[in-house]
Amino acid sequence: MASGSDDDPRIGDISEGAVLRAILSRTAPAAHAVLGPGDDAAVIDAPSGSVVASADTLVEGPDFRLAWSSGYDLGWKSAAVNLSDIAAMGAVPTGLLVSLAVPADTRLSFITAMADGFRECCARLAPGCSVVGGDLTVSELLMIAVTALGDLDGRPAVTRAGARPGDVVALAGELGVAAAGLGLLFARFRDGATAVPVDRASLDAVQQRALDRQLRPVPPLHLGPVAAEAGAHAMMDLSDGLALDASRLADASGVTIALSGAALDALAFGGDRGRALGGGEDHGLLAIFPDGGVVPEGFERIGTVTARMGAPVLVDGQPVDETGWDPYRDWDHAR
Amino acid sequence: MASGSDDDPRIGDISEGAVLRAILSRTAPAAHAVLGPGDDAAVIDAPSGSVVASADTLVEGPDFRLAWSSGYDLGWKSAAVNLSDIAAMGAVPTGLLVSLAVPADTRLSFITAMADGFRECCARLAPGCSVVGGDLTVSELLMIAVTALGDLDGRPAVTRAGARPGDVVALAGELGVAAAGLGLLFARFRDGATAVPVDRASLDAVQQRALDRQLRPVPPLHLGPVAAEAGAHAMMDLSDGLALDASRLADASGVTIALSGAALDALAFGGDRGRALGGGEDHGLLAIFPDGGVVPEGFERIGTVTARMGAPVLVDGQPVDETGWDPYRDWDHAR
């Protein structure tokens, strides 16, 4: 088997320098990096005179299973979920710093596949952005901690706090598709409580798409700056489910978000409204636009902002359960 | 015991929001943060039009033992080692992003003590810098992944690659003190292979100081920008021992670093030259200044740069062993 061969060494058997060289040889030139990896620190362009920065970590167990995710998948997903937070401020991603903690028996090919996933996710979703730095440690558990950096292109950041009564609530992306993919993994690819490799051929095309969105999300990053340019009053990335995330935006702005059930149903994967409201990891953009202004292409109207009326989020006038996505509950229940 | 009381809950028993609020209530206002924690991302000043960024991770086992380090110690050290990489580019630290992965049974008081350590380390070593963002996940292993950001104040970054023959080699900080502290921990505070709590009273004042430098390093961060201002040709942070780190700078610059044994002995903690060359985690600054220029106060001359002569590093004309600090070897041999 290739997995035992000398040309695919274990991380614990080679030097950190050799691992880093293998990763860096797969890193795209960074358009925004003044000074890339290899020194004490990287230097990245910040033409606006400020830098947008966000950190998010994927941990084996609560966030992924190695039976279900390849190294490539994990690199892609780690990049996508972090880049999405930058886009949600209206910023353009400029660089990623990646801190890997990996078990000593991890194969080098797994790490280089992860580097490929980082590179290709950036190339597809955030051209010009790439891995500019990071570090590697040995650990008993695989963990991928990423910091994403971005530039606002001279605009103010679009926070969660600017929604005003009368504004339009809009969404870019699908609802519930990542949760549908996770549901398939738990329902179909376990032996008892143990995750087993995915047999894609056993899934139909719709199911394969849900699985792909769970393992390699494709958030609409380019629409973050578009929304900012269009004058969005508030915006956020949907990581924990629409109901919970919308309640956070409503609380930050001191308003109520009144959603249309029919509009949700039209965007809900498989027409499942409950999963559309509660399912996490979709990484769509929830944006609030001024009434009477233009809602940019790629966003769908899903409701309106009202003065605060008790509940932070309503669907067709009724309060919704804000219990959203909790990785410890939603991933670990089947551990 | 307080460790079992309801007023010090376990992280796994309270919401992520409650943990984050407890941490943020201990975070200093960030002088450079345009927008601090709480949104999808933070926004930090980058007045130079670029941002310096570096990431480093401390993992339980290879990097620390919970019997030896308090939460406060770990917050302090995680801040200090990351800030040091920013200073080594000649930059002023502006913000930290902290990704914590903690076991579910960790007490909240441990995490808030860590937040205190981050805050007080920044206040003492890098005033104006503070924690501006991060995230929290549950994991079986404690891991602290930090990204530090900084600003160059309009100067070019000081890399490892600018040393030229004839330049002066200088050092700010001590040599071997952190390794001496680690040696004490391994020699005096273990029961078999198991780390046991430190009894400070059993140590003399010199030993206590070495222990303190190991657990809560105080790198001379302010001297990074001072060296840059003085025209340093190259600079780096000493994390893996002078011999190995100097060889990296020599390789990056294509030169040989010729050190004076007498100068090393004067800076070596306890006069131990071997430990001064090989001991890691001192986080002093190795800086290369132009011949005939001013070597700023706080730096000591320890050698000269010559054209490349085979070995990257010489002491009194003799090649030195470049085997430096390796956390997996130097921490884990006593696991």
Whether A163 is in a domain gets the answer no
pLDDT in tens, B26-75: 877 777 877 878 888 999 989 999 999 999 999 998 889 999 999 999 99
- The whole-number pLDDT of residue B324 equals 58
Cβ–Cβ under 8 Å, residues B258 and B303: yes
b/e code B198-220 from CB counts within 10 Å (16+ = b): beeeebeeebbbbbbbbbbbebb
**Which of the 8 DSSP states describes residue B12?**
G
Question: Among the three residues A102, A121, A151, which one is the final residue of a domain in this structure?
Answer: A151
- The whole-number pLDDT of residue B221 equals 97
Question: Among the three residues B151, B186, B201, which one is the final residue of a domain in this structure?
Answer: B151
Collapsed DSSP state (helix, strand, coil) of residue A325:
coil
Average pLDDT estimate for B241-245: 95
Asked whether the beta carbons of residue B41 and residue A95 sit closer than 8 angstroms, the reply is: no
Q: How far apart are CA B85 and CA B78, in angstroms?
A: 12
A204/A93 same-domain check: no
pLDDT in tens, B282-303: 999 999 999 998 999 999 999 9
Q: Could you tell me which chain A residue has the CA closest to the CA of B238?
A: A40
- The whole-number pLDDT of residue A25 equals 81
Q: State the nearest Cα–Cα gap between A203 and chain B, in angstroms.
A: 32
Asked whether the beta carbons of residue A45 and residue B49 sit closer than 8 angstroms, the reply is: yes
- The whole-number pLDDT of residue B38 equals 80
Q: How far apart are CA B308 and CA B312, in angstroms?
A: 7
Helices (H) and strands (E) in chain A, counts: 10, 15
B109/B184 same-domain check: no
Residue A294 buriedness (CB in 10 A; 0-12 / 13-18 / 19+): exposed
ipTM, 2 dp: 0.90
B222/B306 same-domain check: yes
- The whole-number pLDDT of residue B61 equals 84
The tens place of each residue's pLDDT in chain A, 335 residues long, gives 334 457 889 988 888 778 888 887 887 777 787 887 888 899 998 999 999 999 999 999 888 999 999 999 999 999 999 999 999 999 999 999 999 999 999 999 999 999 999 999 999 999 999 999 989 998 988 999 999 999 999 999 999 999 999 999 999 999 999 999 999 999 999 998 899 999 999 999 999 999 999 999 999 999 999 999 999 999 999 999 999 999 999 999 999 999 999 999 999 999 999 999 999 999 999 999 999 989 999 999 999 999 998 899 999 999 987 665 555 455 554 33
Average pLDDT estimate for B4-20: 80
Cβ–Cβ under 8 Å, residues B278 and B319: no
Read off the CATH number of the domain in which B34 is found.
Answer: 3.30.1330.10
Cβ–Cβ under 8 Å, residues A52 and A151: yes
Whether A240 is in a domain gets the answer yes
Residue from B51, B58, B240 to probe the interface with A (highest A Cβ count within 10 Å): B51
A135/A241 same-domain check: no
Whether A272 is in a domain gets the answer yes
Half-sphere exposure at residue A25, Cβ-oriented, CA atoms within 13 angstroms: 9
A126/A185 same-domain check: no
Whether B105 is in a domain gets the answer yes
A317/A173 same-domain check: yes
Number of domains in chain B: 2
- The whole-number pLDDT of residue A2 equals 38
pLDDT in tens, B168-181: 999 999 999 999 99
Asked whether the beta carbons of residue B53 and residue A45 sit closer than 8 angstroms, the reply is: no
Q: How far apart are CA A225 and CA A243, in angstroms?
A: 24
Read off the CATH number of the domain in which A210 is found.
Answer: 3.90.650.10
Whether A157 is in a domain gets the answer no
Whether A161 is in a domain gets the answer no
Residue from A57, A100, A147 to probe the interface with B (highest B Cβ count within 10 Å): A147
Q: State the nearest Cα–Cα gap between A209 and chain B, in angstroms.
A: 27
**Residue A252: its chain B contacts at CB < 8 A?**
38-39
A195/A253 same-domain check: yes
Whether A19 is in a domain gets the answer yes
A79/A174 same-domain check: no
**What is each CA distance from A281 to A86, A109, A239, A301, in whole angstroms?**
16, 27, 5, 21
* Token duo for residue B44: 């930090």
What range defines the domain where residue B184 resides?
168-329
Collapsed DSSP state (helix, strand, coil) of residue B72:
helix
Question: Among the three residues A125, A151, A177, which one is the final residue of a domain in this structure?
Answer: A151
Cβ–Cβ under 8 Å, residues B205 and B47: no
**Which of the 8 DSSP states describes residue B64?**
B
Confidence class for position B332, pLDDT limits 50, 70, 90? low
Which helix (H) or strand (E) segment is B195 a member of? strand B194-195
Q: How far apart are CA B47 and CA B231, in angstroms?
A: 21
Asked whether the beta carbons of residue B88 and residue A55 sit closer than 8 angstroms, the reply is: no
**Which of the 8 DSSP states describes residue A39?**
B
Average pLDDT estimate for B303-307: 98
> The whole model's pTM is what?
0.92
Whether A172 is in a domain gets the answer yes
B286/B177 same-domain check: yes
B321/B273 same-domain check: yes
**Residue B174: which of B210, B208, B150 has the closest Cα?**
B210
Residue B62 buriedness (CB in 10 A; 0-12 / 13-18 / 19+): buried
B126/B249 same-domain check: no
Q: How far apart are CA A198 and CA A214, in angstroms?
A: 13
Cβ–Cβ under 8 Å, residues A221 and A265: no
B51/B190 same-domain check: no
